[in-house]
Homo-oligomer: A and B are copies of this chain.
Amino acid sequence: MKNNKDLPAEEHSGPLMADVARLAGVAISTVSRALANPGRVNEKTRVKIDAAAKQLGYTPNAMARGLRVGKSNVVMIILPGSLYYGVSQVIPLVLQGINRSLSQNGYHLMIANLDRDEASERHILDLAFGGTVRGAIILSSDLPVDGGRSLKDSALPIVSLLFDMSHAALPSVVTNDRQAVREATAELLALGHRRFLYLAGPQGNYHDNERYLGAVEALAAAGLPETAIVRSGGSLDYQHGFQIGVAAATEFADLILKPTAVIATSDDMAISFMSCVQRMGWKIPTDLSIVSFDGAPVCEYSLPPLSTIEQPVEEMGQMAVNLLMERIDAPDKVTAQRHVIESKLIRRESFGPAPSNV
């Protein structure tokens, strides 16, 4: 109604580069240059243009630029399907670390998905192949595939965070899951523990595998058989890690020969497990020591405070962004594939000597 021409413009209506050019009395290309390469334009005209732009409240249209230069300034993060397993407590921290680094590099962060159903996979691939995003960070999960397309066929720079995908030629930022658990287990062994309960995540999961192996290796090094550790959980049916802990507590209660130490694959399950067994009457750490993985801030305030292996997720997120930037800047340059940032055990009161009456 406002225009007699019925062009799609109607909507957005903000000032255009052409408006700035007109107001400043220069050509549109000069405005473009002044804004992008302030150095390559006469100081006086630059000032004039800046003033005009400011006066009009001009903001360049990102899609037009993106189309022209064939690049976007958006990076997507691909999240694992079940939000509540494993990484759940740390997701805000991860997003924070990543987004902050991206911002500093002039990029925006798009969440590609929160589920991993078929629709989401297609969604993700549309973003990749449709030129919407410039790169991807894939968090603790596998590469999305849909019909014929797979993310790895796109030319998109991709970095894997938390999963080691270096075998698939993806630069990966991981932590030393296995070693950290091995060391934590060794500490428990040194405290006299000889029977363990392991709270597992979904079977076959990278983290679960690594962490479990860490425990087993520590046992082996101490001359103990793998049977010294009882595995619990691991079903994919559980939405929340919390529920795994609850189920595991029941399992624990039924064991004839009680373990004296529990190693949990994630904080969620450790927290609910600890809560349940204490309500059943066991004392922590007198009867039972507990250690878990993730380093969620809330662990410090459970009763007793929960020992956890803290992953420096914020730092890992930044590292992932740095790698991605390198990839974007030099797509062909071959870089080191696997970057390990060490997690460290935070010993708190859930961690003590084995009961003497074992």
1/0 per residue A189-205: CB within 8 Å of B? Answer: 00000000000000000
1/0 per residue A82-100: CB within 8 Å of B? Answer: 0110001001100110011
Number of copies: 2
Interface on chain A toward B: helix, strand, loop, or mixed SS? Answer: helix
1/0 per residue A107-147: CB within 8 Å of B? Answer: 01111111100011001011101111000000000000000
- Among A32-40, A221-229, A293-301, the one that faces the other chain is A293-301
Q: A11-B70, A60-B130, A88-B92 are in contact. List 18 more A-B contacts (CB 8 A).
A: A8-B68, A10-B70, A12-B155, A59-B126, A61-B130, A62-B127, A63-B66, A63-B72, A103-B119, A108-B110, A108-B123, A110-B111, A111-B111, A242-B301, A268-B298, A275-B305, A302-B303, A303-B303
Indicate whether A131 sits within 8 Å of B62 (C-beta atoms), given known contacts A83-B92, A92-B91, A111-B95. yes
Partner of A103, one of B12, B54, B123, B303: B123
CA distance A139 to B202 in the complex (A): 33
| A272 / chain B contacts, CB cutoff of 8 Å | 300-301
Indicate whether A130 sits within 8 Å of B59 (C-beta atoms), given known contacts A108-B110, A271-B298, A302-B275. yes
A-B contact pairs, 16 of them (CB 8 A): A11-B70, A59-B130, A61-B67, A62-B126, A63-B63, A63-B66, A91-B91, A95-B111, A103-B120, A108-B111, A108-B112, A110-B111, A111-B111, A271-B298, A302-B302, A303-B303
Instruction: Tell me, rounded to whole Å, the shortest Cβ–Cβ distance linking A53 to chain B.
Output: 11
For A296, give the chain B residue with the smallest CB separation: B298
| A54 / chain B contacts, CB cutoff of 8 Å | 148
CA distance A14 to B108 in the complex (A): 23
Chain A interface residue bracket vs B = 35 or more
1/0 per residue A73-86: CB within 8 Å of B? Answer: 01000000001100
